[in-house]
Amino acid sequence: MDPLRGLGLGGDRVLADSHCHARTKDRCDNPFHRSSCVRPDVVDAVQHDLLRRPADVHLGIGSAQVNATGKQFGTAGSVVESFIRYFIDVAYSLNAGVLWLALGGLVLAFVLLRHDEWRPTLVIILGCLTLFGFYVFNLYSNNISILLPGIVKDDPESIYNVRYGSIMASTIPIFASFFVCVVWRQVERRRALALLMLTPIVLPDPVPAASQEGIGQQFTQNLFYTEAIHNQSFWMPPFVDVSGKLKQEIDAGNDNEALIMTNTRIVHVVVWVTGIPMRRFLTEMEQDEWGWSLKNIDPNIRWVITEEGDQLWHAQGKWLQQNWIEVADAKTESTGRVHLFRRPG
């Protein structure tokens, strides 16, 4: 049985509609411009921008480095406040308009529980409510805190756990699509019902003004990446610096073939900063080649990035210092010294 038949829709149609909306909304000038899926999928540009200048981000009370302080501005002991806080986070993470449509779809889904095929409908409803309720409960019990700019009156820059609202992307677009489908089916008989599509425009946007973002900001200054810098800036700078030197080396030699050896902790930062294709990196994920190169570095490898203390450093660090050319090194208090080596010749 199609698990969405209880909603009066074919599963493929609902998912296709949701996917289509997620792919096209940012190119449209309409109230649904914010993504109805997880936004980091479409913002490579901001990675380059923020990773190159992590010191520009101000650490508010919601910084991951002051978790205890962030919890003081949470919602412990209040079900209503916990509900509102997570509702706001979902509205930011997805889209306020889509969220309002989904609420309409959820109400219609409850109505369908009177029909014979109520079981699939109940499963989807419970899935949605369980995910939402899980985070509301954790806010209530003070296990987590969620902060967005504008939530705390005296600190407009607080950012913490913003990503938690994005989990609702698994169910909210389904109910929003269902509401749209039902409305358009009824419009064939009563055209005035088409006005229901204007509901998201009439209803208020729960996202605080300080967290509102234009389309341009969503690509370059959204809270997902701002918070990521809060969490990661204490260890990322040396890897960013070394990555920049690697990029200069590759551009200067116009080398588009030689491989780079490093570990999986480092490789993601390097790829974000430089845009070098992942296929050019040898990491421990390639177990056989990695194992052999720890003993005798593959001749196709031209550069090595290693941090003092990691597996690669213990295996080849001293040998690299003696036999390869050290192009760059960098360090912070929270990391070992990071080295970039180039094969001589």
**pLDDT value, residue 235:** 80
**pLDDT value, residue 231:** 67
* One domain, residues 169 and 262: no
**pLDDT value, residue 17:** 40
Residue 221 in domain: no
Residue 28 in domain: yes
* One domain, residues 249 and 209: no
Residue 259 in domain: yes
Domain total of the chain:
2
* One domain, residues 53 and 162: yes
* One domain, residues 37 and 134: yes
Nearest alpha carbon to residue 196 among 176, 170, 173, 167: 176
Report percent pLDDT > 70 for the chain: 76
**pLDDT value, residue 53:** 41
pLDDT along the chain (345 residues), means of 10: 38 38 37 37 40 40 47 78 93 91 92 83 91 93 86 74 90 91 86 85 88 80 76 81 94 91 91 90 93 94 95 95 96 90 93
How far apart CA 217 and CA 223 sit, in angstroms, is 9
**pLDDT value, residue 39:** 39
Polymer length in residues for the chain:
345
* One domain, residues 187 and 241: no
How far apart CA 153 and CA 150 sit, in angstroms, is 6
Residue 183 in domain: yes
For the chain, the straight-line distance linking the first and the last C-alpha, in angstroms and rounded, comes to 65
* One domain, residues 210 and 288: no
Residue 264 in domain: yes
* One domain, residues 130 and 251: no
Residue 227 in domain: no
Nearest alpha carbon to residue 70 among 205, 272, 178, 231: 231
**pLDDT value, residue 270:** 92
| Three-state secondary structure string covering the chain | CCCCHHHCCCHHHHHHHHHHHHHHHHHCCCCCCCCCCCHHHHCHHHHHHHHHCHHHCCCCCCCHHHHHHHHHCCCCCCHHHHHHHHHHHHHHHCCHHHHHHHHHHHHHHHHHHHCCCHHHHHHHHHHHHHHHHHHHHHHHCCCCCCECCCCCCCCCCCCECHHHHHHHHHCHHHHHHHHHHHHHHHHCCCHHHHHHHHHHHHCCCCCCHHHCCCHHHHHHCCHHHHHHHHHHCCCCHHHHHHHHHHHHHHHHHCCCCCEEECCHHHHHHHHHHHCCCHHHEECCCCHHHHHHHHHCCCCCEEEEEEECCCHHHHHHHHHHHHHCEEEEEECCCCCCCEEEEECCC
Residue 229 in domain: no
Residue 146 in domain: yes
Domain coverage including residue 155? 5-214
* One domain, residues 199 and 305: no
The pairing of beta strand 325-330 with beta strand 338-342 = antiparallel
* One domain, residues 249 and 313: yes
Q: What is the pLDDT of residues 237-260, one digit of tens each?
A: 899 999 999 999 999 989 888 999
**pLDDT value, residue 194:** 85
Q: Looking at this protein, which amino acid is placed at residue 312?
A: L
* One domain, residues 152 and 289: no
**pLDDT value, residue 230:** 67
Last residue of a domain, one of 174, 199, 214: 214
* One domain, residues 74 and 21: yes
Burial class (CB in 10 A: 0-12, 13-18, 19+), 18: buried
Q: Is the pTM of this model over 0.75?
A: no
Tokens of 21: 């909306």
**pLDDT value, residue 156:** 65
* One domain, residues 79 and 198: yes
